[in-house]
């Protein structure tokens, strides 16, 4: 259907259609943000719960997250944009509503003017951008920021967003959406001195193995970082020679326990010799180096899973097992409920590896960092796999303190599915994460007779964690601090030169 939709149109008509639907997309996005802003207005009034760790803003973000199938943080960002649309930038918002500027441009304007607190200044900036937007033409992100900043500097210099490559930006990030199977990206920023130390240590460990190690220097450095994470100061040599002096274990394989949720065939897989060293095509071996996919299958059905870090291919799994990784079989829980509140180690393990992540809609917090929650609160709800699920601390607090009549209500089924009903009456069903990776694994457990109606849950004996400052006060504090730094820079820039 879609491949023939514009088949009969001329080039000019196709380009006109692109522009027309881009405008329609912008108008739809503006109305979506307006609806989100209205939900914020209704849900986020000042009340005595402003200092709750899971406050009204978080509860509203959970509704937006579920409705849009996005993460909690992105939902919160949409709420901020909705408020900018309806409260701060009326003339720019009118252009957005008319489809004359895109979501990307509106989001950039909202962000670059976020520090402007003076009402007169924001009116002037809003008007200036609206009046001059038609002269901008197509712009890159960088040029767009410069065009917005021009008016911020003119009317409120202290509100200019500063880009600082300073010590405050140091961080280490692990994993991106583009990670290839079996590997994870690592990137970040360190103190220069720490980076020099790390670089020297990795190089020392890479050269600490014998010359027969099949890995390249780059591959050894990557493996050495894993050895450092395991608490080791050396790298195990992979030459395979029984007399090698560097064959002692470096701790990487034995420092973690790998749970294999797959057929037993995964345990019988063989390491892939092509995982290290130069590509086969680059090595003159005197033999046919064509990769035999029958010998090294690409099917990942027998692979393992490490939380949300992705798939561990069977050959890599075999390499870890050969290096000494401990293999433990997952035990299926019994039919009868357990007597206490806390699940046994075996039941806890089963629930976490069945769910794999938080079970709230669109949350991918790993199960290892989640609480094990009783869907029907204990003691009225039993400690049984059909009544247990993983919830991150944020969504556990949301269910506990924002649940019940008029709030979030959850119902768990024996197959592990959880049906969530939002305060607006919308239903969202989440499935155990293991179903995606191991569809043939039947994780269904015994059904239970509901011990208590979800609308008549007993009072909780725990207290909501309290913020030091309310969300609004924290935001005002951050803006004040950033503006103070900016004002100092402006004063330094405007200081007359010395005589």
Packing angle, helices 72-83 and 56-68, rounded to 10 = 110
Q: Across the chain, which distance is largest between two alpha carbons, in Å?
A: 87
pLDDT of residue 378: 85
Instruction: Compute φ and ψ for 478, nearest 5 degrees.
Output: -65, -40
What pLDDT shows up at residue 262? 55
Beta partners for residue 466, in sequence order: 52
What DSSP assignment string belongs to 222-239? HHHHHHHHTT-SS----S
Identify the helix (H) or strand (E) that includes residue 410. Answer: strand 409-412
Using CA atoms, how far apart are residues 345 and 341, in angstroms rounded to an integer? 12
Distance in angstroms (rounded) separating the CA atoms of residues 269 and 317: 8
pLDDT in tens, 309-341: 555 666 666 766 666 666 777 778 878 888 888
**Does residue 447 contact residue 432 with C-beta atoms inside 8 Å?**
no
Contact 346, 53 (CB under 8 A): no
* Segments of the chain with pLDDT less than 50: 164-166, 284-301, 451-456, 458-459, 461
Both structure tokens of 485: 């730094």
The reported pLDDT for the residue numbered 77 is 94
Which of 143, 57, 72, 152 minimizes the C-alpha distance to 111?
152
What is the rounded CA–CA span in Å between residue 400 and residue 463? 10
330: Cβ contacts below 8 Å, ≥ 6 apart: 259, 261, 349, 350, 353
Report residue 335 CA to chain centroid gap: 35
State the pLDDT at residue 130: 93
pLDDT for 200 equals: 87
Tokens 């607090």, residue? 397
Token pair 């509140």 in the structure block, residue: 341
pLDDT, position 250: 67
Name the residue among 123, 126, 148 with its Cα closest to residue 136: 148
At residue 296, the pLDDT reads 37
pLDDT at 444: 83
- Residue tagged 């803006």 (tokens): 479
Determine whether 114 is exposed, middle or buried from the number of CB atoms within 10 Å of its CB (0-12, 13-18, 19+). middle
Residue listed under structure tokens 């010590």: 167
d(Cα 369, Cα 373) in Å, to the nearest integer?
13
**Roughly how many angstroms between the first and final C-alpha of the chain, as a whole number?**
75
Query: Which of 51, 48, 46 has its CA nearest to residue 469?
Result: 51
Q: Please report which helix (H) or strand (E) contains residue 202, including its range.
A: helix 192-206
Give the span between the Cα atoms of 64 and 76, in whole angstroms.
8
**Of 168, 39, 141, 37, the residue nearest 478 (C-alpha):** 168
What's the pLDDT score for residue 453?
A: 46
């Amino acid at each position: 259907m879609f491949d023939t939709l514009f088949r009969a149109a001329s080039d000019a008509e196709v380009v006109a259609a692109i522009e027309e639907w881009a405008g329609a997309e912008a108008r739809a996005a503006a109305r979506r943000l307006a609806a989100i802003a209205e939900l914020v207005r209704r849900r986020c009034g000042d009340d005595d719960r402003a200092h709750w760790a899971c406050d009204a803003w978080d509860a509203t973000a959970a509704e937006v997250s579920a409705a849009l199938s996005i993460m909690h943080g992105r939902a919160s960002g949409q709420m901020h944009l909705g408020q900018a649309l309806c409260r701060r930038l009326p003339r720019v918002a009118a252009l957005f509503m008319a489809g004359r500027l895109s979501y990307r441009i509106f989001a950039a304007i909202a962000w670059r003017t976020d520090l402007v607190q003076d009402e007169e200044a924001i009116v002037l900036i809003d008007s200036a951008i609206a009046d001059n937007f038609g002269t901008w033409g197509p712009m890159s992100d960088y040029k767009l920021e410069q065009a917005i900043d021009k008016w911020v500097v003119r009317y409120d210099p202290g509100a200019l967003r500063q880009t600082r490559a300073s010590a405050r930006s140091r961080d280490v990030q692990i994993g991106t959406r583009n990670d290839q199977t079996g590997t994870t990206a690592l990137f970040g920023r360190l103190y220069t001195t720490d980076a020099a130390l790390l670089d020297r240590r990795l190089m020392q460990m890479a050269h600490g193995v014998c010359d027969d190690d099949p890995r390249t220097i780059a591959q050894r450095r990557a493996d050495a970082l894993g050895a450092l994470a395991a608490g080791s100061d050396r790298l195990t040599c992979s030459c395979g020679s029984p007399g090698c002096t560097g064959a002692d274990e470096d701790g990487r394989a034995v420092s973690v326990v790998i749970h294999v949720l797959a057929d037993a065939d995964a345990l019988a897989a063989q390491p892939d010799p092509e995982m290290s060293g130069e590509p086969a095509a680059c090595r003159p071996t005197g033999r046919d180096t064509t990769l035999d996919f029958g010998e090294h299958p690409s099917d990942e059905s027998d692979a393992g899973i490490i939380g949300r870090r992705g798939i561990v291919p069977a050959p890599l799994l075999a390499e870890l097992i050969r290096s000494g990784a401990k293999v433990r079989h997952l035990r299926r829980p019994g039919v009868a409920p357990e007597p206490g509140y806390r699940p046994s180690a075996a039941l806890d393990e089963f629930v976490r590896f069945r769910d794999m992540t938080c079970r709230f809609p669109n949350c991918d917090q790993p199960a290892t960092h989640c609480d094990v929650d009783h869907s029907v609160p204990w003691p009225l709800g039993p400690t049984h796999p059909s009544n247990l699920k993983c919830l991150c601390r944020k969504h556990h607090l949301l269910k506990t303190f924002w649940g019940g009549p008029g709030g979030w209500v959850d119902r768990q089924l024996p197959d592990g599915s959880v049906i969530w009903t939002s305060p607006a009456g919308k239903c969202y069903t989440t499935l155990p994460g293991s179903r995606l990776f191991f569809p043939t694994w039947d994780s269904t457990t015994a059904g239970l007779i509901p011990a208590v109606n979800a609308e008549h849950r007993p009072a909780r004996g725990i207290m909501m964690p309290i913020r030091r400052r309310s969300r609004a006060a924290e935001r005002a504090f951050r803006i004040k601090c950033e503006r103070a730094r900016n004002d100092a820079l402006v004063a330094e820039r405007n200081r007359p030169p010395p005589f």
